[in-house]
Chain A
Amino acid sequence: MEDKDTQVEGEGTMANKATIVVHSGDMDKLYSALIIANGALAMGMEVSLYFTFWGLQRLRRGALEKGPLSKMNMLGLGKWMVKRKMKKVGVVSLERLMQDFKELGGKVLACDMTMEIMGIKKEDLRDDLISEYCAVGTYVNEAKESTITLFI
Chain B
Amino acid sequence: MANIKVDCVGETCPVPLVETRKALRKAEEGDIVEVIGTHPASKKEIPMAVKSLGLELIDTQEEGGVWRIRIRR
Question: Which A residues are closer than 8 A to B by beta carbons?
Answer: 2, 5, 9-11, 35, 38-39, 41-44, 89-92, 97, 100, 103-104
Shortest Cβ distance from residue B52 to the other chain A in the assembled complex, whole angstroms: 5
Bound-state Cα–Cα, A92 to B10, Å: 12
Question: Is the pair A103, B22 in contact by a Cβ cutoff of 8 Å?
Answer: yes
If A9-B24, A43-B48, A104-B18 are given as contacts, then 10 extra A-B residue pairs at C-beta distance below 8 Å, sorted by A number, are A9-B54, A10-B53, A38-B14, A38-B18, A41-B18, A41-B21, A42-B20, A89-B12, A104-B21, A104-B25
Total number of residue pairs linking A and B with CB closer than 8 Å: 52
| Chain A residues, Cβ within 8 Å of B49 | 42-44
How far does the alpha carbon of A66 sit from the alpha carbon of B28 in the complex, in Å? 39
> Contact mask B6-23 → A, CB, 8 Å, 1/0?
000011111101101110
Contacts of A43 in B (CB 8 A): 17, 21, 48-49, 52-53
Q: Contacts A9-B55, A11-B52: A42 and B21 contacting too (C-beta < 8 A)?
A: yes
A to B CB contacts below 8 Å, 28 in the list: A2-B25, A5-B25, A9-B24, A9-B54, A9-B55, A10-B53, A11-B54, A35-B13, A35-B14, A38-B17, A38-B18, A39-B17, A41-B18, A42-B18, A42-B20, A42-B21, A43-B17, A43-B48, A44-B49, A44-B52, A90-B12, A91-B13, A92-B11, A92-B15, A100-B22, A103-B22, A104-B18, A104-B22
